[in-house]
């Protein structure tokens, strides 16, 4: 078993998810590589946070508020970086230049110029594995849908719709935080937060947006500041993108991508629907175990629904009948990253791999065109 020493920069919501996945690594079967988290960095690092990481992991040898110290630590081979978007550019560039492998969080730069500069450094360092986080495709039912894409079960694509819907921001009394402030989160708003998740499978399937017409909404323009006052909330809450997409055969079809922070009744719904002339399929985390599909060879058109249980890409001790959840998806994504690290960047299979820097860059091209489209009420080219 090869052990990779990790540092975590950004020990908030997502930093803890990785640490928790590392703590239950023995849950996976058949892995030839495992993470050991030895260094954590936050700004600040509270005593509670430090205790949580130290006691849970038992492997921490470095705690710091200066990420340069993680990069100077010769024991650290790879870094998970989960910091606010305005820090991605400098942090990711410094991590890659230090020669440490990187799983970075989306959107991989606060905007396209920041992402372009990250991409330049990625290209200068081919020896460093760089990937972007996105976990939902690892749900077993979604992996089965991906296999249908690979096996070309859909025939000519008629339409694709993908989305990621939240509802917590429907509450106008929810106080503002960095994710709702343009300076920290970026002009993309909800697209920067949710968009890469939505684009992951379409891009991996080679369904490339050629152009986009976007409609963006700022539904709650003010929020409590948490100190008794109100402050402007200028980030886009919802984005609906209608793209003309092209597949590898040159077939063009409509692709609808929705990222919404204000979708009543939807807590954390990530979905993909593919409609084709020979078959169709749909998956949603709302019904995470099920894959709906329809084969069409003439005759009746009826949807079938199949329970998938725990047939994960990376083997696990959980019985095959048991249901799958968010933290399982995180564990599978981490297995995928470590697998790629151990196999010269090659994923276990086409769709059991992490988002590549090129795919993240394509999402920036799309979201930048979407901003322009909304502002001008125009259709904007993407590729």
Return residues touching ligand NAD (CB under 6 A). 9-15, 41-43, 67, 82-85, 87, 105-106, 133, 135, 193
Which residues touch 183 (CB under 8 Å, ≥6 apart)?
86
Least distance from ligand NAD to the Cβ atom of residue 114, Å: 12
CA pair distance 155, 188, nearest whole angstrom: 34
* Nearer of residues 46 and 349 to ligand NAD, judged by Cβ: 46
Could you tell me where the DSSP H helices lie in 99-224?
Answer: 112-124, 140-150, 182-185, 190-204
- Read off the tokens for 100: 């440490």
Residue 330 or 365: the one with the smaller Cβ distance to ligand NAD is 330
Instruction: Provide the minimum distance between the beta carbon of 252 and ligand NAD in the complex, in angstroms, as a whole number.
Output: 31
CB of 86 to ligand NAD, least distance (A): 9
Nearer to ligand NAD, 245 or 361 (CB): 361
- Residue 65 sits at the vertex; the CA angle it makes with 53 and 197, to the nearest 5 degrees, is 65
Phi, psi of 377, rounded to the nearest 5 degrees: 55, 45
Between 13 and 248, name the residue whose CB sits nearer to ligand NAD: 13
Nearer to ligand NAD, 39 or 238 (CB): 39
Q: Residue 212's closest CA among 191, 197, 181?
A: 191
Gyration radius from the chain CA atoms: 21
Cβ proximity to ligand NAD, 157 vs 338, nearer residue: 338
Closest CB to ligand NAD among residues 98, 280? 98
Q: How far is residue 56's CA from residue 316's CA, in Å, rounded to a whole number?
A: 21
Minimal CA–CA distance to 257: which of 205, 213, 204, 206? Answer: 213
Least distance to ligand NAD, CB of residue 106, Å: 6
CB closest to ligand NAD, residue no? 12
CB of 301 to ligand NAD, least distance (A): 35
**Whole-angstrom distance, CA of residue 273 vs CA of residue 123:** 34
Q: Give the number of other CB atoms < 10 A from CB of residue 215.
A: 13
Report, in Å, the least distance between residue 189 CB and ligand NAD.
Answer: 12
The nearest distance, CB 82 to ligand NAD, in angstroms, is 4
Give the list of residues 6+ apart from residue 112 with CB closer than 8 angstroms, or none: 364, 365, 367, 368
d(C-alpha 337, C-alpha 327), whole Å: 15
CB of residue 16 to ligand NAD, shortest distance in Å: 8
Q: Which is nearer to ligand NAD, 49 or 342 (CB)?
A: 49
Q: Give the Cα-Cα-Cα angle 220, 196, 149 (nearest 5 degrees).
A: 130
């Amino acid at each position: 078993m090869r052990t990779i020493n990790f540092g975590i920069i950004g020990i908030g919501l997502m930093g803890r998810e990785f640490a928790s996945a590392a703590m239950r690594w023995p849950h996976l079967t058949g892995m030839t590589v495992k993470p050991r988290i030895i260094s954590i960095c936050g700004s600040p690092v509270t005593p509670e946070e430090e205790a949580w990481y130290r006691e849970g992991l038992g492997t921490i040898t470095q705690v710091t508020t200066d990420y340069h110290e993680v990069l100077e630590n010769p024991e650290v081979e790879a870094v998970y970086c989960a910091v606010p978007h305005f820090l991605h550019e400098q942090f990711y560039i410094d991590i890659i230049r230090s020669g440490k492998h990187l799983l970075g969080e989306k959107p991989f730069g606060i905007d396209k110029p920041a992402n372009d500069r990250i991409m330049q450094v990625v290209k200068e360092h081919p020896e460093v594995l760089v990937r972007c986080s996105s976990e939902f495709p690892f749900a077993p039912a979604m992996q089965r849908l991906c296999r249908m894409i690979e096996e070309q079960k859909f025939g000519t694509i008629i339409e694709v719709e993908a989305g990621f819907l939240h509802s917590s921001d429907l509450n106008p009394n929810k106080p503002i935080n960095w994710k709702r402030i343009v300076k920290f989160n970026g002009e993309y708003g909800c697209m920067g937060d949710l968009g890469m998740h939505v684009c992951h499978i379409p891009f991996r399937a080679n369904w490339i947006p050629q152009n986009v017409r976007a409609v963006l909404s700022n539904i709650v323009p003010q929020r409590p500041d948490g100190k008794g006052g109100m402050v402007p909330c200028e980030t886009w809450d919802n984005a609906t993108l209608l793209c003309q997409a092209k597949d590898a055969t040159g077939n063009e079809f409509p692709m609808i991508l929705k990222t919404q922070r204000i979708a009543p009744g939807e807590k954390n719904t990530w979905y993909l629907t593919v409609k084709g002339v020979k078959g169709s399929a749909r998956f949603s985390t709302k019904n995470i175990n099920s894959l709906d599909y329809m084969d069409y060879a003439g005759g009746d058109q009826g949807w079938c629904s199949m329970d998938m249980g725990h047939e994960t890409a990376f083997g696990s001790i959980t019985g095959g009948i048991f249901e799958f959840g968010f933290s399982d998806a995180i564990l599978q994504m981490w297995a995928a990253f470590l697998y790629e690290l151990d196999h010269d960047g090659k994923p276990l299979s086409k769709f059991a791999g992490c988002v590549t820097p090129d795919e993240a860059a394509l999402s920036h091209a799309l979201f930048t065109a979407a901003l322009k489209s909304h502002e001008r009420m125009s259709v904007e080219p993407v590729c």
